Amino acid sequence: MRYSACGVLATFAVLASAKPGVNQAIMQLEASNSKLLQYPSQFTQGIMPRSIHSHNDYWRDVPLLTALSFGVSSVEADVSLINGTLFVGHESAALTKDRTLDSLYIQPLLQILTKQNPKNAFTANDTGVNGVFDTDSGRTLQLLIDIKTDGVEALPFILTAFQPLREAGYLTTFADGILTQSAVTVVGTGNSPLDQIKALSPRDYFFDAPLTQLTDPSLNTTWDPTLSPLASTDYEVVVGWSGIGDITDQQRANLTKFIGDAHACGITARFWDTPTWPIFARDNVWKALLDGGADWLNADDLEAASSF
């Protein structure tokens, strides 16, 4: 028996129309750009947030957005105040007039959060604020500001720079004895000045506490979430295990002690300067950190961390 090409195509067309199948229905809806598949807060649709810190986030091909695409819940920007402008970059050779704190982080966040918090008849009675993640709208995005220049001089400029997010109610704030979490929690590190941050009232710029000194009375500071949502330290100095061979009892004890100190204060713990290579060693260190109770994976390879 012989079949013509037209006959075969017709047969397939009949079968397709008779039994469309779920995959075909999906393709048809997507191809039609149906409004059934659209909703206001879908910018991060399907992305599950993870407790990963994007170390030197501005090195990404697309700062901030690449991190969000992997569900990263904490990002870091190195900031230098030069002639009244806050530029972003690791060192002076990396700075350009276009890459500023405002252009790389504040304006993109404002645009994203405007999408996540639509103003319409459905939201008229809403009192809360949605964060950047559609799948977990109550989760705050932690934004670390690593001041590279003089911190006392830079702080007023940084506070002014965040005014658009502040006016929209998107910044976590401590005021009148109450800590109100919002979509973005800004934490100063690097040369951020502790005394000036402690004096802020209201406070929407917090301080990255010294993880190894949380119990040091000489600092005359009460470490808690109203001042410091997290505490950080140099992994290489404090722990030093390369991820090759076995971790020593003393190294593990250091790890768990400082994490315990942070948790006793009600704040999270982060270790930076963790090994990045060999990959198996990096993964061993990540596992030891998570097993020890560390709250953040400090990562350069976001894809690897997100699938760890």
Neighbour tally for 217: CB within 10 Å: 7
Give the pLDDT of residue 8. Answer: 45
Rg (alpha carbons) of the chain, rounded to whole number = 24
**Residue 208 to residue 226: CA distance in whole angstroms:** 12
Q: Which two tokens stand for residue 209?
A: 């506490």
Cis peptide before 278 (omega within 30 of 0): yes
Query: 160-181, pLDDT tens digit by residue?
Result: 999 999 999 999 999 999 999 9
Is residue 79 very low, low, confident or very high in pLDDT (cuts 50, 70, 90)? very high
- From the number of C-beta atoms within 10 Å of its C-beta (0-12, 13-18, 19+), residue 96 rates as exposed
Provide the 3-class DSSP secondary structure of residue 112. Answer: helix
Model confidence, pTM: 0.92
* Distance set, CA 213 to CA 22, 231, 245 (Å): 58, 9, 29
Does the pLDDT of residue 100 top 50, yes or no? yes
pLDDT, mean of residues 141-166: 98
**Residue 266 to residue 252: CA distance in whole angstroms:** 21
Neighbour tally for 29: CB within 10 Å: 12
**Residue 175 to residue 198: CA distance in whole angstroms:** 12
Give the pLDDT of residue 154. Answer: 98
The Cβ-side half-sphere exposure at 245, using a 13 Å CA radius, reads: 7
Q: Which two tokens stand for residue 51?
A: 């407790």
Q: Which residues pair with 86 in a beta bridge?
A: 81
Q: Which two tokens stand for residue 272?
A: 């930076």
Cβ within 8 Å of residue 3, ≥6 positions away:
none
Is residue 11 very low, low, confident or very high in pLDDT (cuts 50, 70, 90)? very low
Does the pLDDT of residue 14 top 50, yes or no? no
Sign of CA dihedral 92, 96, 98, 99: negative
